[in-house]
Amino acid sequence: MPFTPSYRITTRIAGCLMRIEAAREAVFHLPITPGVLASLRETAKLCTTYYSTMIEGNLLTQREVGQVIARNEHFPGRERDEKEILGYYAGLAHIEQLAADRGRLTVKQIQTIHALVMSDGVKKKPKPTPFRGGQNVIRDSRSRAIVYMPPEADDVPGLMSDLVAWINQSMQDHVPCPILAGLAHYQIATIHPYFDGNGRTARLLTTLILHLGGYDLKGLYSLEEYYARNLGAYYQALTVGPSHNYYLGRESADLTSWLDYFCQGMTESFESVRKQTEAAAGQGDNDQSEALRKLDPRQRKALELFRASTTITSRDLELLFGISQRMARVLLADWVTDGFVEIVDTAKKSRKYALSQDGSMNHGTQKGQDC
């Protein structure tokens, strides 16, 4: 049967929605320099990656997460943790692109998000992951008692198709985006379409829906931090219904308490970003977030290099992305073709690149200035 969630907009939820909207509008109109915006956005992505994987038991520290992503550093015995970090970060980059495309959500997109979550982040277009082919259960880590029994594998494809259809229709019907995102998060966790990676996939889908609905907040927030601060409250909020069995009331449970928790988290996150951006506003040129959004994730990250120097080399990209010299040169050649950078020193061994004149104008970055 179609996904028809049961919930009520309580006075407290309504209050949260108004505060979320106020913070969203305030941040949207604040002037922030491109350099500050790019830096804050990258910090938010690292924070999101750290907390979302920490929820799943990842043991890398926040500093180590940054080292893995920025410099491809390795930590002996933590290979699995490193893979989770790189996969989630790749998933964030992918949903940014999906949000920029502004298309309708599809089941295949969710399967691709999951494929990235379970990857090492190297392959940019992994094959979409099929849904689980067997029954899985969630057990208490200590007692091993069954905490939740998701729907049977045969029912998963239909449930996921129904969820995607509901999300697309709800967007057309202008269901408040925080409500829509929260309900989608809950339903992915409830269907549990995979043996592993369900939580990370649910959180990425939540972020994608918020971006598609205009609640990206310039890419500066991290709901994952709210969840991670009190994991007990997060899991308790997701546990609704009279039974641990999906078919004994979980599929038709009243989701008001979950939405209350979710909207409180959005409120805290959005208001925190509002304070942060108010402090950063007015420190230079006008806000260029729309122009920055058109850059691909690697180009945005490369802007950091131009904050310290007017030119860069392939070696700089090698260190920044942890890629080979050949790949760095290929990337720079592509950027020259795109008009993002231009060659300013043609020496074969030490070729230098600067932001192109068009790139500087289009992306709000001027040579010699904080980008």
Q: What angle do CA 178, 184, 185 make, to 5 degrees?
A: 90
Residue 289: the pLDDT is: 52
User: What residues contact residue 229 under an 8 Å CB cut-off, 6+ apart?
Assistant: none
Domain with CATH 1.10.3290.10 in the chain: 11-280
Average pLDDT, the chain: 86
| Rg, the chain, Cα only | 22
CATH topology of domain 295-362: Arc Repressor Mutant, subunit A (1.10.10)
Q: How confident is the model at residue 363 (pLDDT cuts 50, 70, 90)?
A: very low
Q: Which of 140, 134, 262 is nearest to 196 (CA)?
A: 134
Q: Does 223 score more than 70 pLDDT?
A: yes
Token couple for 95:
């949903």
Cα–Cα distance, 53 to 312 (Å, whole number): 33
What are the DSSP calls for 288-357, one per residue?
-HHHHHTS-HHHHHHGGGGGT-S-B-HHHHHHHHT--HHHHHHHHHHHHHHTSEEEEE--STT-EEEE-H
CA distance 141 to 296: 41
SS3 149: strand
CB 304 within 8 A of CB 37: no
State yes or no: pLDDT of 371 exceeds 50. Answer: no
The string of DSSP letters for 54-66 reads HHTT----HHHHH
What CA–CA distances, in Å, run from 273 to 21, 209, 267, 280? 13, 19, 10, 10
Q: Percentage of the chain surpassing pLDDT 70?
A: 89
The type of residue at 145 is A
In this prediction, residue 163 carries a pLDDT of: 97
When pLDDT is cut at 50, 70 and 90, the band that residue 6 belongs to is very high
Asked if 48 contacts 31 with a C-beta cutoff of 8 angstroms, the reply is no
Cβ pair 165, 106 in contact under 8 A: no
Q: Token pair for residue 76?
A: 């002996």
Q: For residue range 282-328, list pLDDT tens digits in order.
A: 554 444 555 555 677 777 777 777 766 678 888 888 877 778 888 88
- Joined together, the tokens standing for residue 337 give 């073709």
**Distance in angstroms (rounded) separating the CA atoms of residues 72 and 86:** 9
Question: What are the backbone dihedrals phi and psi of residue 183, each rounded to the nearest 5 degrees, phi first?
Answer: -65, -40
Nearest to 314 by CA among 324, 304, 306: 324
Percent of the chain with pLDDT over 90: 51
Q: How much is the pLDDT for 258?
A: 97
Predicted confidence band of residue 191 (pLDDT cuts 50, 70, 90): very high
pLDDT in tens, 64-120: 998 998 878 899 999 999 999 999 999 998 998 898 888 899 999 999 999 999 998
Return the structure tokens found at 232. 């007990």
Question: Comparing C-alpha atoms, which of 79, 73, 86 is closest to residue 121?
Answer: 86
Can you tell me the mean pLDDT for 225-247?
90
E-only strand ranges, the chain: 138-139, 146-148, 341-345, 352-355
C-alpha separations of 117 from 13, 19, 93, 219, 252 in Å: 31, 32, 11, 19, 29
Q: Is residue 249 predicted with pLDDT exceeding 60?
A: yes
Residue 64: how many CA atoms within 13 Å on its side-chain side?
17
Quick one: pLDDT at residue 86? 94
- What does the pLDDT read at residue 199? 95
Structure tokens at 238: 């997701």
Q: What pLDDT, on a 0 to 100 scale, did the predictor assign at position 142?
A: 81
- Can you tell me the distance from the alpha carbon of 181 to that of 167, in angstroms, rounded to the nearest whole number? 9
Q: So what's the pLDDT on residue 293? A: 57
At residue 218, does pLDDT exceed 90?
no
Q: Could you tell me the CATH superfamily of domain 11-280? A: Fido-like domain (1.10.3290.10)
Across-strand partners of 296? none
Whether residue 93 contacts residue 297, with contact meaning beta carbons closer than 8 Å, is answered with yes
Which residue spans of the chain are classified as CATH 1.10.10.10? 295-362
Could you tell me the pTM of the whole model? 0.76
Span 17-60, pLDDT tens digits: 999 999 999 988 877 777 677 778 888 889 999 999 999 999 99
* Terminal alpha carbon distance of the chain: 51
Query: Residue 348: what pLDDT?
Result: 67
Beta bridge mates, 354: 342
Find where tokens 């990258």 sit.
42
- Write the pLDDT tens digit of every residue in 258-276: 999 999 999 999 999 998 8
Q: Cα separation of 206 and 256, whole Å?
A: 17
